[in-house]
């Protein structure tokens, strides 16, 4: 099967973006990737979570305006951290001929990580966009690590995951080349997260 990418935009909804670390920067990065994907004819698949505080049709459930899906774009609705579980994501990607997912969105440790790992189990290659995923703002004290550290940690984990038969890359948005996915540049990741 020829190599074919799709951009996944996970849970960039009003309620979640309102509590996100580096929200404006992350939205801008994803919006830029989305524009480039569309210009290159690469499908964009938006994942939209439904749950407590994000009931379907409410303002909080809506995708942020900068990332509102176009009428020709696929939207997948989910109710768990796994965008593949009890959804039509796999069927949608297969129908589009996708072999690789470019993963962005919220939240790094939960829906982004779970979906990226499930994509590998569903036999897709994965590009994790280093500066295109984020997590919640949190207090300096507590059991969670600071958001910038969590993002950097997950980027590093994905640089070292060994998944037989799958290609896994962590790239800043600037190195994602939708015009020619077969030559996505693999190099060092110059993105440095904000200090915790």
Task: Note the helical H segments in 50-146.
Answer: 89-95, 113-121
Strand partners, 74: 45
Per-residue model confidence as pLDDT tens digits over 120-170: 999 999 999 999 999 999 877 788 899 999 999 999 999 999 899 999 999
Give this prediction's pTM: 0.90
Q: Which residues contact 188 (CB under 8 A, 6 or more apart)?
A: none
Most distant CA pair in the chain, distance: 49
CA distance between the termini of the chain: 43
- Can you tell me the distance from the alpha carbon of 144 to that of 129, in angstroms, rounded to the nearest whole number? 22
CA atoms of 54 and 142, how far apart (whole Å) = 26
């Amino acid at each position: 099967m020829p190599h074919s990418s799709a951009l996944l935009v996970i849970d960039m909804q009003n309620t979640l973006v309102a509590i996100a670390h580096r929200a404006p920067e992350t939205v801008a990065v994803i919006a830029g990737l989305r524009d480039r994907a569309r210009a290159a004819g690469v499908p964009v698949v938006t994942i939209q979570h439904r749950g407590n505080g994000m009931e379907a049709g409410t303002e909080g459930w809506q995708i942020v305006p900068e990332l509102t899906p176009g009428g020709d774009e696929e939207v997948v609705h989910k109710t768990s951290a796994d965008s593949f579980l009890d959804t039509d994501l796999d069927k949608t990607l297969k129908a589009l001929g996708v072999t690789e997912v470019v993963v962005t969105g919220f939240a790094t440790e939960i829906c982004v990580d779970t979906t990226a790992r499930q994509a590998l189990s569903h036999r897709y290659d994965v590009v994790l966009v280093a500066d295109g995923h984020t997590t919640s703002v949190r207090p300096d004290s507590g059991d969670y690590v600071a958001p910038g550290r969590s993002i950097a940690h997950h980027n590093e984990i994905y640089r070292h995951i060994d998944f037989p038969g799958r290609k896994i890359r962590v790239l800043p948005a600037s190195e994602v080349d939708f015009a020619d996915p077969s030559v996505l540049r693999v190099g060092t990741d110059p993105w440095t997260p904000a200090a915790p």
